[in-house]
């Protein structure tokens, strides 16, 4: 049975879709980038925004930084409050804690906003540590965040077989595998079964309840 579980935030613990897509749309429109359908912006949910803007929009670092800054202008004000709690998450975390698990958040979201979201939904109580990017969004590489979370949970090399990373996008799976731990893809977020399977997820859960059963098996 596992003893340690690391969780992504966006799309795994909460659904940030409305707040993130509206804030990206706000940024794009300010920069003169047309948006025909806000839901098309869901592809940006999960990975570090700066990198995704550079990759998908083919913009340079300065333009990507400007896009991120305008995004944060709205998201840090009202966007984070548009999160919705994913059904079954509080019960899942409570069950794991009762079973003796040590839990961590391992998210690329800036620590300041992540903490606001976790406190808003009263989830902070379940975690031993919260590892995220810096307030300015730097240090956002998922494999590095997972590594830091493992250190803060005091997971030794010998104990890594008892640790798992849970997330809804390929970046979560890749970050977990890069650190030598098991990975769980959660389908309640924004990654497809195909995306998670191609990334090498050890288990793909249809719900938080399925995830808990696998971790406790």
Per-residue pLDDT band for 138 (boundaries 50, 70, 90) equals confident
**Residue 162 has which token pair?**
């008892």
142 burial type by CB count under 10 A (0-12 exposed, 13-18 middle, 19+ buried): buried
Average pLDDT over residues 175-201: 97
**For the chain, which residues make up each domain, given as ranges?**
4-15+83-216, 17-82
Fold that domain 4-15+83-216 belongs to in CATH = Rossmann fold (3.40.50)
User: Is this prediction's pTM over 0.85?
Assistant: yes
pLDDT in tens, 59-112: 999 999 999 999 999 999 999 999 999 999 999 999 999 999 999 999 999 999
Mean confidence (pLDDT) of the chain: 95
Across the range 134-154, mean pLDDT stands at 92
Q: Does residue 137 surpass a pLDDT of 80? A: no
The whole-number pLDDT of residue 168 equals 97
pLDDT over threshold 80, residue 160: yes
Taking residues 18-36, what's their average pLDDT?
95
pLDDT at 132 > cutoff 90: yes
- The CATH architecture that domain 17-82 belongs to is Orthogonal Bundle (1.10)
Distance, CA of 117 to CA of 46 (rounded, Å): 15
Can you give the pLDDT at residue 135? 85
List 8, 10, 168, 172, catalytic entry: 8
Write out the H or E segment, with its range, that includes residue 165.
Answer: strand 163-167
DSSP state letters, 91-103 = HHHHHHHHTT-EE
Residue 136: its pLDDT value, please?
A: 81
What is the per-residue pLDDT across 161-179, written as a single tens digit (0 to 9) for each?
999 999 999 999 999 999 9
168 is annotated as an active-site residue: no
As to burial, measured by CB atoms within 10 angstroms (0-12 exposed, 13-18 middle, 19+ buried), residue 14 is buried
pLDDT at 47: 82
pLDDT at 33: 95
pLDDT at 12 over 80: yes
């Amino acid at each position: 049975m596992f003893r340690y579980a690391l969780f992504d935030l966006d799309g795994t613990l909460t659904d940030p879709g409305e707040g993130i897509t509206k804030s990206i749309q706000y940024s794009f429109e300010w920069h003169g980038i047309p948006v025909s359908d806000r839901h098309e912006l869901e592809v940006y949910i999960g990975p570090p925004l700066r990198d995704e803007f550079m990759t998908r929009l083919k913009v340079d670092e300065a333009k990507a930084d400007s896009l991120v800054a305008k995004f944060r202008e709205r998201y840090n004000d009202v966007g984070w409050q548009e999160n919705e709690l994913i059904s079954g998450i509080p019960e899942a975390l409570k069950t794991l804690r009762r079973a003796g698990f040590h839990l961590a958040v391992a998210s690329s979201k800036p620590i300041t906003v992540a903490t606001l979201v976790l406190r808003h939904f009263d989830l902070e109580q379940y975690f031993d540590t919260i590892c995220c990017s810096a307030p300015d969004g730097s240090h956002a590489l998922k494999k590095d965040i997972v590594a830091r979370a493992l250190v803060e949970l005091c997971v030794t090399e010998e104990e890594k077989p008892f640790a798992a990373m849970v997330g809804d996008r390929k970046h979560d799976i890749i970050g977990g595998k890069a650190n030598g731990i098991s990975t769980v893809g959660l389908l309640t977020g924004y990654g497809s079964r195909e995306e998670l399977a191609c990334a090498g997820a050890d288990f793909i859960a249809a719900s938080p309840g399925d995830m808990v059963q696998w971790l406790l098996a």
